[in-house]
Structure 1
Amino acid sequence: MNIKAISFSVFAAALMLAPLAAHAEDIPENLKGSGEVVITSGGGTWEEAQKKAFFEPFTRDTGIKVVLVPEDHAKLLASVRLGQPEADITSVPGGALAGFVNKQAVEEMDYGFFAPDTLANMPEAMKNKNGVGALLYSIAVAFNTTKFPNGGKQPSNWVDFYNVKDFPGPRSLPKCEKLVDGGLLEGALMGDGVPADQVYPIDMDRAFAKVAELKPNVGRWWVAGADAPQSLIDGEVDLAAAYNGRIFGARQQGAPLSLSWDQSLLQYDYWVIMKGSPNKDNAAKFLAYISRAQPQATFAEAISYGPVNNEAFNLVPKELLDVLPGAPELAKKQIFQNYEWWNATGPDGRTNWDVALERCVALLSQ
């Protein structure tokens, strides 16, 4: 996923952000300490939002210094293999977690530092043995409102996306290397009428048959997250599978784009502690601190990602509940992407992702 450099959400710039961070005296004693914790960061508005919500309040309230290094997973994994990890913590897409685990690159999570109410308000998918949820984002059906104007008939789900008769025009779908991040097969199955709660386990034959059916109407196969909205803006396509943050970022700049949350995929990143971390306890304290409701709410206000603590939705302005992935009303229309299924291996040792990638490449080369 390459959406971490997106601009502030359409609402963020207009909001006066209230300081939600707790005061030091409200912080449990077990989270306080000394020394440092080294964390990777992607820069830009992503890093600014993290500084506001996580890094600066954590240091102020606990006495533990946060040191940032540029995010480079290849370099980080190499340093772990040498037994000298250059960072204690990084974030990885949910679908990539198994790869880090298989490389023996991460420590098991220590949830002993987490307050009971924090854990109780986090969805189960966010409390993995090897990582804790970092944020929620979504892939959804997006469209150009010039082609499908407000007040008229607009596509609202994957069934509509695959319905070229009632919603004519070229489409944009993720290319094979982004088939998981872009929800290619999940969208195809729902487009073929499979109910959201029956998408997994994915019937690859049925999904790829649906993609093949739509293939003549695909005007752009995207790789970078910015490609989908740009192809909509340029008029190259009329509908696209796109990240919610990208669409809201484009709308903020005046682009005639919209999206539907119906049947959108809830996706997520994990924070992980690197194997051999010299500041393992401080890393666990940091993750316990930022997973609380108030830091999560501050982060959600600063950038268009959903919080991983459900209580945070009660702390953000009501206007944001219409645009944050995982918000209570939106979540009723969404489906959590099942990374465990994607990373499961068959008798031949290949993951479902490996098999799907091979099949996707074969289909697109025809």
Structure 2
Amino acid sequence: MKAVAKNVVLGAALLVFAAPPSVQSQEISDNLKGSGEVVITSGGGTWEEAQKKAFFDPFARDTGIKVVLIPEDHAKLLASVKLGQPEADITSVPGGALAGFVNKDAVEKVDYNYFTRDTLAAIPNQLKTEYGIGALMYSIGIAFNTTKFPAGKEPKNWVDFYNVKDFPGVRTLPKCEKLVDGGLLEGALMGDGVPADRVYPIDMDRAFAKVAQLKPNVGRWWVAGADAPQSLISGEADVAAAYNGRIFGAKKEGAPVELSWDQSLLQYDYWVIMKGSPNKENAAKFLAYISRAKPQADFAEAISYGPINNEAFKLLPKDLVKILPGSPELAKKQVFQNYAWWNETSPSGRTNWDVALERCVALLSQ
């Protein structure tokens, strides 16, 4: 999903970030200050380093509340919540997974009383839910090999992606387990001419018919996010559905790849507070603190993911803003992925995701 791996093992020891005394504090409202700690799951590596720089250290410094990190393991975390002893106060979950946490009664409602009016006004409505607040934004769009498609002849949208006559070449698409994250059905519908603002509710019959039509031209069905750019670099594919971070990472290393933002899907993760959190108040303060424009800008600059606070874009270099999902100009070309639709449940108890997964597996096995 993201260009940075989030499964790095931190080891058994807890990591605590206390306030560096030499750094001058930012001015914050008194209601965010406190004592004690807040326990947060972390994925380690450069992901954690970016969070440490933008969120953990400044929060500890400015509020007096310690940040304690433990390795991210959602299965273990959910089990601890079920026992009434959550091992962490806060974790982050993909947008499509939030409903599952809510259905398991595993998360608390977000206390927006700690957020300022300015902060809330700057956060898109899709990222302000009853049980989760946006963590970051990322995108999947159409990528291509620039050797195969030089400037002026490149595929620019999903219609072009599915048009193998005018844009010949091998395609690579997400495999079934990645059909939501990989935007398989949304891309297929837009590829069939459905306007971006009419993608939802998804017409599965029409979407799968379009995928079936392209199937002979798909050389690889990818699972890992790194597979798509690698396929373009190796020549295994010429056009790909790919994550923006993966493509820009490869491009930065000199690979002949490029991404089109037209009709790209705007995707996002949520921060959630675990049910029964022993530090619920501190957790709410943490989320309110890091959702402000400055921490969001610092995080985006450290790791190149889109901030969830629109005011943050004003604090970032213009060259960086141009490649951040959700930025004012790019957002006009993008489509917010509708996780609520994917998690809708039929009378049979099956979600739209369950149904789509079954149909996808059947299609690819033919």
Q: Shorter-chain TM-score: what band?
A: over 0.9
Confirm whether residue 333 of structure 1 aligns to residue 329 of structure 2.
Answer: no
Task: Give the alignment's Cα RMSD to 1 decimal.
Answer: 1.2
In structure 2, what residue type is equivalent to 1:118?
T
Contact kept, 8 Å, 2:91 with 2:272, in 1: the verdict is yes
- Residues 1-366 of structure 1 correspond to what in structure 2 (within 5 A)? 1-5=1-5, 24=25, 26-150=27-151, 152-366=152-366
Residue aligned with 1:128, SS = coil
* In 1: Cα distance, 2:44 partner to 2:249 partner: 17
C-alpha displacement of 1:23: 5.4
Aligned partner of 2:15 in structure 1 is: none
* In 1: Cα distance, 2:216 partner to 2:81 partner: 45
In structure 2, what residue type is equivalent to 1:292?
R
Counting matched residue pairs gives 350
* In 2: Cα distance, 1:272 partner to 1:208 partner: 33
Cα shift readout 1:276-299 (whole Å, capped 9, x = no counterpart) = 111100000000000000000111
Contact kept, 8 Å, 1:264 with 1:335, in 2: the verdict is yes
In structure 1, what residue type is equivalent to 2:292?
R
Cα shift readout 1:305-326 (whole Å, capped 9, x = no counterpart) = 1000000011101111210000
Structure 1: gaps of 5 or more residues = 7-21
Cα shift readout 1:59-118 (whole Å, capped 9, x = no counterpart) = 000000111111111111111111111111000000000011111111111101101100
In structure 1, what residue type is equivalent to 2:40?
I
Structure 2: gaps of 5 or more residues = 7-22
Residue aligned with 2:163, SS = coil
C-alpha displacement of 1:45: 1.1
Contact kept, 8 Å, 2:2 with 2:245, in 1: the verdict is no
Cα shift readout 1:141-193 (whole Å, capped 9, x = no counterpart) = 0011111123x400100000000001111111011111000000000000000
C-alpha displacement of 1:26: 1.1
Contact kept, 8 Å, 2:2 with 2:243, in 1: the verdict is no
In structure 2, what residue type is equivalent to 1:45?
T
The TM-score with structure 2 as length reference comes to 0.94
Distance 1:25 1:323, change over 3 A: closer
Residue aligned with 1:109, SS = coil
* In 1: Cα distance, 2:77 partner to 2:26 partner: 35
Aligned partner of 1:17 in structure 2 is: none
C-alpha displacement of 1:3: 3.6
* In 2: Cα distance, 1:233 partner to 1:81 partner: 45
Residue aligned with 2:172, SS = strand
Residue aligned with 1:24, SS = coil
Contact kept, 8 Å, 1:2 with 1:224, in 2: the verdict is no
In structure 2, what residue type is equivalent to 1:127?
K
* In 2: Cα distance, 1:71 partner to 1:104 partner: 19
Contact kept, 8 Å, 1:4 with 1:42, in 2: the verdict is no
Residue aligned with 1:26, SS = coil
* In 1: Cα distance, 2:3 partner to 2:147 partner: 25
C-alpha displacement of 1:5: 2.4
The TM-score with structure 1 as length reference comes to 0.94
* In 2: Cα distance, 1:164 partner to 1:82 partner: 54
* In 2: Cα distance, 1:155 partner to 1:322 partner: 19
Contact kept, 8 Å, 1:5 with 1:42, in 2: the verdict is yes
